[in-house]
Amino acid sequence: MRLADVAQFATGSLRGSPTRTLLMMLAMAIGVAAVVVLTALGEGARRYVVDQFSSLGTNLVIVLPGHTETAGIGPGMLLGQIPREITLDDAEAIQRSASVKRIAPLTVGSAMLSRGSLNREVVVLGSTSNLLEVRHMNLGIGKFLPEGDIHESASVCVLGNQMKRELFGNDQAVGQWVRLGDRRFRVIGVLAAQGESMGMRTDELVIVPVASAHQLFNTSGLFRVLIEAKGRDVIEQAKHEAEQIMLQRHHGEKDVTVITQDAVLATFDRILTALTMAVGGIAAISLAVAGVLIMNVMLIAVAQRVKEIGLLKALGAPGKRIRNLFFAEAALLSGIGSIAGLVLGYAGSLIIRQVYPVLPATPPWWAVLAACGTALGTGILFSVWPARRAAKLDPVAALAGR
């Protein structure tokens, strides 16, 4: 039998009973679409959680001065040396490393904050404009620290939410001058209320440029350098690079400690694994349901055609040829059904994305592949297998529909 004839016979057979063909394709399409939409939902939820986690600042690597020797007492300590401090130049060097997205140097001190007759002791953070992103702080009104040269000591400050209320009440704070220690600073912004973060109450902070803080406290060292790695997978690399850079700049002396948020990361990984497994489970269940649906439809469809198989045999078609005919038909049917299902599934995901914009509901490629594979696989298997069995009957038995 010629290939063109096989194709023509298959299309003719599908067109010959449009209702049956349509119902089978519908079953196939719904199966595939269900897998696509459900996995899109699962994957959307997973990605939503991942995004939320990333915004918590889990890509953080922290450099702090001093190195704790676990193997006894370092030679420096015996000589009564204090660890060498981390300078702004060190921070800038780290900034240039490949896996680092941005850094925020941090200096901490306490000073007297006063406006008119009101004054109180506050924790002062010296940092740069990057701190807002690195620590994921939210600005209430005004602007955050200006970008530009890290060594510039502008006399500007950003107040924590509670500080603003205590000093200004309901008055306008941005643009006003306050006194911090022995210097006057202009308020350029107020942080939004956000509670505690990294053991510091952000609401009670005053943030000034790092150079200004150095002048204020008469120091040149940094308390911390916060590094945001480019991604979760390069955290270790960023840590290593930061260590190398500091080692080089401090002439081979390992006098800083670089830490990551290992505990947080471990938890994060566990949650991520659980979510991925959940998506996989959703996919597996919907695939199984789709597979069973397709199986039943195909089995019934072939059972109705045992007579036709008998006739084809009586007309001189060997079992193998009949199998090929049913294979071609099932492949065609499953192919069109899968494509229809994909269109339906992607349309469904699109609608979900429109209705819930926060949920990035796109089906993972492996689920799409598995859905099509299942549709094609079960469609062909449960069409060719019963057809093969019917073709193995003596034609007279098949003709009688037994």
Partner 1 sequence: MIALSQVSRSFTVGDQEVSALRGIDLDIAAGDYVSIMGPSGSGKSTLLNLIGLLDRPSSGTYKLDGGDVTALDDVQQARVRSEKIGFVFQSFHLVPRLTAAMNIELPMILAGIPPEERKERVAKLIENYGLKDRADHRPDQLSGGQRQRVAIARATSMNPAVLLADEPTGNLDQTTGREVMALLEQLVEQKVTLILVTHDPMLGGRAHRQIQMVDGAIISDNGKKT
Determine if 251 is a binding residue for partner 1 (CB under 8 A): no
Give the x/- contact pattern for partner 1 in 100-129, rule: CB under 8 A: ------------------------------
Choices 32-40, 260-268, 345-353, 392-400 (CB under 8 A): range interacting with partner 1:
392-400
Element (H, E) at 395: helix 395-399
Q: What ranges in 111-151 are assigned the alpha helix state H?
A: 131-134
Q: Which amino acid is at 181?
A: G
CB of 399 to partner 1, least distance (A): 7
Which of 116, 195, 316, 357 binds partner 1 (CB under 8 A)? It is 316
Nearest by Cα to 87 from 222, 193, 215: 222
For 180, residues 6+ apart whose C-beta sits below 8 A from its C-beta are 111, 112, 113, 122, 124, 157, 206, 208, 216
Which of 263, 315, 354, 355 binds partner 1 (CB under 8 A)? It is 315
CB of 5 to partner 1, least distance (A): 5
Q: Any idea what DSSP says for residue 398?
A: H
d(CA 20, CA 14) in angstroms, rounded, equals 8
CB of 296 to partner 1, least distance (A): 23
d(CA 145, CA 128) in angstroms, rounded, equals 6
d(CA 349, CA 338) in angstroms, rounded, equals 16
Q: What ranges in 17-160 are assigned the alpha helix state H?
A: 18-55, 75-78, 88-95, 131-134
Nearest by Cα to 45 from 53, 34, 55: 53
* Residue 317 or 370 with smaller CB distance to partner 1: 317
Residue 73: Cβ within 10 Å count: 8
Which of 190, 313, 329, 390 binds partner 1 (CB under 8 A)? It is 313
Cα first-last separation, the chain: 27
Choices 84-92, 111-119, 292-300, 391-399 (CB under 8 A): range interacting with partner 1:
391-399
Choices 119-127, 174-182, 309-317, 342-350 (CB under 8 A): range interacting with partner 1:
309-317
Instruction: Report whether 223 contacts 94 (CB < 8 A).
Output: no
Instruction: Report whether 360 contacts 47 (CB < 8 A).
Output: yes
Which of 319, 335, 377, 401 binds partner 1 (CB under 8 A)? It is 319
CB of 332 to partner 1, least distance (A): 15
* Residue 10 or 275 with smaller CB distance to partner 1: 10
Instruction: Report whether 144 contacts 104 (CB < 8 A).
Output: no
Residue 281: Cβ within 10 Å count: 11
# residues near partner 1 by CB under 8 A: 29
Site for partner 1 in 76-105 (CB under 8 A): none
Which of 311, 331, 332, 339 binds partner 1 (CB under 8 A)? It is 311
Site for partner 1 in 4-33 (CB under 8 A): 4-5, 9, 12-13, 15-17
Query: Which residue ranges make up the site for partner 1 (CB under 8 A)?
Result: 1-2, 4-5, 9, 12-13, 15-17, 307-308, 311-321, 392, 394-397, 399
